Homo-oligomer: A and B are copies of this chain.
Amino acid sequence: MIKSEVFIRVLYAHTDNMGIVNNARYLEYFEAGRNTLLRELGFPYTEIEKLHYGLPVIEAHAKYISTAKYDDIVKVAAILKKLPGVRIMIDYELFVNDKLIVTGYTEHSFINLDTMKPIRPPKDFMEIVKPYFSAK
């Protein structure tokens, strides 16, 4: 398992008429989470792009348990629970003051940016990731 955390201050622009963060905005918070996860892993998404790979979102899910409000600091935990293959699944757990407010996941597929076809992950990426999932 690999886990990272990043913190986001809620702006007015993130909230809606109901006084809470708009449901669509959380998918951007998810992106901030996985951006941080890949960077801390030593393989930022910009590196993936430089190798002509892409990682488009093929599925996204969010469960809204509670709410974040203006000026709250949201902790976004991004978690890689399973060794990636052509597909990679990232889980998210969002907290305000240690209270879980949103959970979710995104699934991605490695693609070749030239052909836009699915492709196995870069070898260097797998070498970095594998040790986290080795048998104990």
Q: Which residue of B lies closest to A9 (CB)?
A: B35
**Interface bin, chain A:** 35 or more
Which residues of chain B are within 8 angstroms of A114 by Cβ–Cβ distance? none
Query: Looking across the interface, which residue of chain B has its beta carbon closest to that of A21?
Result: B17
Let me know if B63 and A62 touch, CB within 8 A: no
Question: Are the CB atoms of B28 and A24 closer together than 8 Å?
Answer: yes
Residues of B contacting A16 in the complex (Cβ-Cβ under 8 angstroms) = 12-13, 15-17
Choose one: B11, B46, B106; the contact of A31 (CB below 8 Å). B11
Q: Is A27 touching B23 in the complex (CB atoms < 8 A)?
A: yes
The prevalent SS among residues of A at the interface is: mixed
Which residues of chain A from 40 to 74 have any CB-CB distance to chain B below 8 Å in the complex?
44-46, 54, 56-64, 67, 69-71
In addition to A11-B28, A11-B32, A15-B17, 12 A-B residue pairs with Cβ atoms within 8 Å of each other are A12-B16, A12-B18, A12-B31, A13-B27, A13-B31, A16-B16, A24-B25, A45-B70, A58-B64, A59-B62, A60-B61, A61-B61
In this assembly, does A22 line the interface, its C-beta being within 8 Å of a C-beta of chain B?
Answer: yes
Does A19 make an interface contact (CB < 8 A)?
yes
Least Cβ distance of A30 to chain B in Å? 8
* Chain B min CB distance to A17 (Å): 4
Partner of A17, one of B25, B57, B60, B70: B70
